Amino acid sequence: MQGTQPQPQPPTPAPWPEGTIARYLTVVGAYVDITGEAYDADGICHGCETTPVQSGYISRTIHVVRAWAQLHAETCRALPRPEVS
Ligand SMILES: [Zn+2]
């Protein structure tokens, strides 16, 4: 018996952009990021670049932005543009 079998590691998630406080994954694998603070939050979908304000969510409270992000992540099918290196 070998004592040191390599354990499969879960994939390391990419680091979040600075200022990101929450992140939602859309159905096609794009990210919806929330930035800011509890009463001054904002969001952006990296698939279609929609923000909560563009979706009609004018409050910047974290609960509202989270609700937008959750709903948007469930419905958005835009893929993020591939990164150019
Ligand atoms: Zn989107």
pLDDT in tens, 21-70: 999 999 999 999 999 999 999 999 999 999 999 999 999 999 999 999 99
Q: State the distance from the centre of ligand 1 to the C-alpha of 31, rounded, in angstroms.
A: 8
Q: Give the model's pLDDT for residue 2.
A: 61
Q: State the distance from the centre of ligand 1 to the C-alpha of 11, rounded, in angstroms.
A: 24
Q: Please answer whether residues 34 and 19 qualify as being in contact, where contact means their C-beta atoms are separated by less than 8 angstroms.
A: no
Residue range 17-22: average pLDDT?
94
Q: Please answer whether residues 43 and 33 qualify as being in contact, where contact means their C-beta atoms are separated by less than 8 angstroms.
A: yes
pTM value surpassing 0.85: no
Q: Model confidence at 1, in pLDDT bands (50, 70, 90)?
A: low
Q: State the distance from the centre of ligand 1 to the C-alpha of 41, rounded, in angstroms.
A: 17
Q: State the distance from the centre of ligand 1 to the C-alpha of 44, rounded, in angstroms.
A: 8
* pLDDT over 70 at 6, yes or no: yes
Q: State the distance from the centre of ligand 1 to the C-alpha of 73, rounded, in angstroms.
A: 7
